[in-house]
A and B are shown apart, each in its own frame.
Chain A
Amino acid sequence: MVAKGQKRKLLEGRGAWESQLQSVLDISMEKFHRDQALVEPSLLRSVLISNTLRQVQSEVRAQVESLSSVKMPTKPQTHSGLEPDFPSGSPSSTEHNAPVFSLNDENSNTEEDVMAWTSEEDFSLSSAISVILKDLDTVIDAGQGPPRAPLGSVENLTGDARHTQYPPSSSRTERASNVVPSVKSEAACLGCPQDVVLEKLLLDIDTSVFEPEVNLLQGFSVTADDLVKYLPSLSKSPSASSSSSSSSHGQATWEIQEIEHVMDILMRTYPQS
């Protein structure tokens, strides 16, 4: 059992490191967000800031791991499947008195593991670390979806869509271009008449235009499979479609509705920060 005095020393030593870690993290995140708002952030600056954030993240993870190895001998294994190297830990959460943190997938187990075997003395330290982890995840996810106005609605797009419709932020459009190809491939796979319209729409978007700027912390996790789940009606369309003129008008409006639906999905896949 780790003596109380030793625990306290551990905490004090941690205090200085923690405060520096917290300030570096705060400053880095502030810069990161500020740069995101710029039309064209400096690539050198972005790389240096994101590398610093990664370093902070790995330091925090290392500290949490060392915390867990300190804690493990003292606490009973109530948490099923507790492993020293998370975040691949087990999913159960409700059995513990964990504070309510809305963490995203990857680190939720980490955070819960931390909380599982924390005593009141270490609660402040662990909660500080978990706040830091949560902040880091917010940063990484925020990289995927910045707080911006959504893409313009589909029916306004003309042939010059790439010039007029797309917003000034090139980093946002880079994200759009990352999403679009997966939708495009999905549409191509479906091979039904309705997605011809969708394909034409997507072809209008020249993704090579959006090459230069990129969000370096992007870990865009939307895959084509995910999008398929949200596009059930498109896959059903072959049976619904018919070449008869009576249904063609209904088909056209239905196509527009489907495209709007797709655009809604695209907007929703940017997680709200």
Chain B
Amino acid sequence: MMAGVGGGNDFQWCFSQVKGATDEDVAEADIISTVEFNYSGELLATGDKGGRVVIFQREQESKNRPLSRGEYNVYSTFQSHEPEFDYLKSLEIEEKINKIRWLPQQNAAHFLLSTNDKTIKLWKISERDKRAEGYNLKDEDGRLRDPFRITSLRVPVLMPMDLMVEASPRRIFANAHTYHINSISVNSDYETYLSADDLRINLWHLEITDRSFNIVDIKPANMEELTEVITAAECHPHQCNVFVYSSSKGTIRLCDMRAGALCDRHSKFFEEPEDPSSRSFFSEIISSISDVKFSHSGRYMMTRDYLSVKVWDLNMENRPVETYQVHEYLRSKLCSLYENDCIFDKFECCWNGSDSAIMTGSYNNFFRMFDRNTRRDITLEASRENSKPRAMLKPRKVCTGGKRKKDEISVDSLDFNKKILHTAWHPKENVIAVAATNNLYIFQDKLN
């Protein structure tokens, strides 16, 4: 049992905050569907199934309130997407936010992209803490003044007001995806971004909403021949011409946009040869990649499939350089997990700021962290039982067979309805956000 995940020094993860309702009855709309820190880590955004975005802001250190140092509090809440009805196909389009991606901050306002299955929106979140008072043509309450009664002109002055955070949709990128959008990724040029659905990837310019370039199209001429779909895509963090996309067959393709307008032919093809001894009916399903993330350095990428996380060196296509088992004890239960649909759950994964550690979720509200240097791993639980302020999290262990030790939990007792699909790691500090159904947990390293 590991005390913490090292990266030079051992971390000790402590409970910091939990956001969300405490009722046993979870409203479907409140289920968190995406979590993302912005580039500085000052802001933390969540999207939910009800189409809402909630942004938390980190409190500045203050001598007045030392205990709330580094706490995240609600900064802005807005309805990003509404349910829509496609009349042509008689289909309802879910308002669930699939992904949020922040743009790097270039002025006082913050910008983020949020997407549901069909439409991507660029939101501007800006603060207003001053108000102009003393207009000539209207009163303070907005009523128009009678122009004939105005005898003198005055210059309006800016007066302080209570801070108001406004979110306004600045761009709507619609009608470019026939299939369900699974990924969006901002390019390092900060001018373009890509969006991927099951069969196609489009490249957009942030300023242009009525056009996008289709850069990948894997739709076969005859849909009966379809055996593979795109599951995730991401732009390279530094090379604005490079992006990767993963597939349902466990492969990753790296494409260079300089090679041609259509990137159907990959520059690199990453696939691990299958281990024939572990082949089963479910081999393909569990090899389907649910998430792909470049390291901050841009030298590695990480993929998440059903049972493991793999780190790939971009210079080596034939196998990953590191493989971490997330919950290998589920391998013998694949048939039941297929039956109850859990095998289709899409877990995400994330890097820490220095790329020395990776994190991903599991069932029973467990999440796992792996230290790439020491090869140590730890299993922690997001639960209200461990929610005393700054309480240190106790490592958890799943008993796979034989005698169950105290504090261990057996595989059959795991709650498969409590799944941690979305996690995020602060880009600079050891602060993590873990989404557990409708609750958002924030944990901090004690040494932080």
Contacts and interface: CB of A to CB of B under 8 A. Distances in A.
Q: Do A and B come from one complex?
A: yes
Contacts of B335: 20, 23-24, 27
Contact of B199 (A39, A43, A48, A59): A43
Contacts of A167: 90
Query: Which 8 pairs, one residue from A and one from B, show the smallest C-beta to C-beta distance?
Result: A214-B223, A168-B90, A43-B198, A24-B281, A212-B178, A48-B285, A27-B339, A40-B91
Contact of A209 (B89, B199, B248, B341): B89
Given A23-B335, A42-B180, A212-B179, A170 B284 contact: no
Interface of A: 20-21, 23-24, 27, 31, 39-40, 42-45, 47-48, 50-52, 55-56, 59, 163, 166-168, 170, 209-214, 216-219
A161 to B, nearest CB: 13
17 contacts: A23-B335, A24-B281, A27-B335, A27-B338, A39-B90, A39-B91, A47-B229, A48-B285, A48-B288, A52-B285, A163-B88, A166-B90, A170-B89, A170-B90, A211-B178, A212-B89, A216-B223
Contact of A47 (B89, B228, B281): B228
A218 to B, nearest CB: 5
Nearest to B219: A211
B310 to A, nearest CB: 19
A44 B338 contact: no
Given A52-B281, A52-B285, A216-B223, A170 B91 contact: yes
Contacts of A20: 281, 335
Contacts of A48: 248, 284-285, 288, 344
Contacts of B285: 48, 52
Nearest to B228: A47
B134 to A, nearest CB: 55
Nearest to A217: B224
Contacts of B288: 44, 48
Interface in B20-57: none
Residue among A24, A59, A217 facing the most chain B CB atoms (10 A cut-off)? A24
Contacts of A218: 223-224
B213 interface: no
B198 A163 contact: no
B226 A47 contact: yes
Query: By CB atoms of chain A within 10 A, which of B87, B179, B223 has the most?
Result: B223
B416 interface: no
A100 B392 CA distance: 68
Contact of A216 (B87, B180, B224, B341): B224
A216 B328 CA distance: 31
Contact of A44 (B91, B198, B224, B282): B198
A88 B285 CA distance: 31
A216 B225 CA distance: 8
Nearest to A52: B281
Contacts of B227: 47, 50-51
A40 B88 CA distance: 13
Nearest to A220: B224
A51 B223 CA distance: 13
B231 interface: yes
